[in-house]
């Protein structure tokens, strides 16, 4: 790897599936632009990193992002080795059972977190995992997932350390996104006495949790989900939190599978959160 210009062993993908095996394959078959730079004496034409985790030439950024194409080829090659029919099967149709509605944060990738392959989870992401009844983007995803793909589970997945939630809590002005974060500020206002009674360090975590609670309620109240329940279609809406510091999911304890369950389950979870007067994030699933 040093001969190819890396200063240290690269690790671009966090999951065991998309790990060093992919990069090892890729480094054995470098891109043409890299191969062309190898002169007759060997690999002297290559020089270190142009940035953290970015192979290239110092002072000369890789504007074509060739290394991303390299990683793509390595990934496709490895998937084919693991399952020769994977892409043929994937190209025919998608049949996911899950819709993931999460935050756009680059540290919260849906498939990797729950260990699912492409084609196994339908995904919508936005800043602070907000579901708004006027957001045609989100509602289009929701309708396609429920009415066409017939997903059985919708997961709203927030995460601790969410920058959008933090900005909303601090009423921080960040630009155009201020309009979007008004929806999170509305969650704060609805539960202000609960949040403001906590130590400052705990307020952010609690707002992350309450934001998931409210977005689950918003999904359950859409005509899309209400109509699905009315015709007997099985679909459940779940509220989860992801922790960046350990990579584990937390179950908010809110699962709604019928319209009459929403009010009771909402109040139960709200009471449970209100009882956590200190900085007590939810326990990871399976560790309680």
Residue 282 domain-assigned (yes or no): no
Q: Number of C-alpha atoms within 13 angstroms, CB side, residue 217?
A: 15
Q: How far apart are the first and last CA of the chain?
A: 43
**Range of 70's domain?**
1-92
Using one digit for the tens of pLDDT, what is the confidence trace for 140-173? 999 999 999 999 999 999 999 999 999 999 998 8
pLDDT at 8 over 70: no
Residue 198 domain-assigned (yes or no): yes
The CATH number assigned to the domain holding 231 equals 3.40.1050.10
pLDDT at 260 over 70: yes
CA-to-CA separations, 211 to 135, 159, 162, 253, in angstroms, rounded: 17, 10, 11, 14
Q: Within its chain, how far is the Cα of 94 from the centroid?
A: 19
Residues whose CB falls within 8 Å of the CB of residue 148, separated by 6 or more in sequence, listed in order = none
What angle do helix axes 177-190 and 200-220 make, rounded to 10 degrees?
100
Catalytic residues: 103, 105, 107, 159, 162
Tokens of 11: 């690790």
Q: Give percent of the chain with pLDDT exceeding 90.
A: 60
Q: How many CB atoms are closer than 10 A to CB 266?
A: 18
Using one digit for the tens of pLDDT, what is the confidence trace for 214-223? 999 999 999 9
3 state DSSP class of 241: strand
d(CA 136, CA 125): 13
Does residue 30 sit in the same domain as residue 81?
yes
Q: State how many domains the chain has.
A: 2
Residues whose CB falls within 8 Å of the CB of residue 141, separated by 6 or more in sequence, listed in order = 99, 101, 122, 124
Does residue 75 sit in the same domain as residue 157?
no
């Amino acid at each position: 790897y040093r001969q190819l210009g890396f200063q240290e062993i690269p690790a671009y993908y966090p999951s065991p599936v998309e790990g060093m095996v992919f990069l090892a394959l890729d480094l054995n078959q470098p891109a043409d632009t890299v191969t062309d730079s190898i002169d007759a004496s060997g690999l002297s034409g290559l020089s270190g990193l142009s940035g953290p985790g970015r192979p290239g030439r110092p002072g000369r950024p890789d504007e074509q992002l060739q290394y991303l194409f390299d990683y793509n080829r390595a990934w496709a090659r490895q998937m084919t080795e693991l399952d020769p029919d994977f892409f043929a099967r994937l190209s025919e149709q998608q049949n996911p059972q899950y819709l993931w509605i999460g935050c756009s944060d680059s540290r919260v990738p849906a498939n990797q977190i729950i260990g699912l392959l492409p084609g196994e989870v339908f995904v919508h992401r936005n800043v602070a995992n907000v579901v708004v009844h006027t957001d045609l983007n989100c509602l289009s995803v929701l309708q396609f997932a429920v009415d066409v793909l017939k997903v059985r589970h919708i997961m709203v997945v927030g995460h601790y350390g969410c920058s959008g939630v933090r900005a909303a809590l601090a009423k921080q002005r960040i630009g155009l996104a201020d309009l979007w974060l008004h929806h999170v500020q509305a969650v704060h206002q609805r539960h202000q006495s609960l949040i403001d009674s906590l130590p400052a360090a705990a307020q952010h975590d609690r707002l992350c949790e309450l934001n998931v609670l409210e977005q689950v309620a918003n999904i359950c109240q859409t005509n899309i989900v209400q109509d699905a329940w009315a015709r007997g279609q099985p679909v459940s809406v779940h509220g989860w939190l992801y922790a960046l510091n350990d990579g584990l999911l937390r179950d908010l304890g809110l699962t709604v599978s019928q319209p009459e369950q929403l009010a009771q389950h909402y109040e139960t979870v709200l009471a449970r959160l209100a009882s956590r007067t200190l900085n007590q994030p939810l326990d990871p699933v399976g560790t309680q």
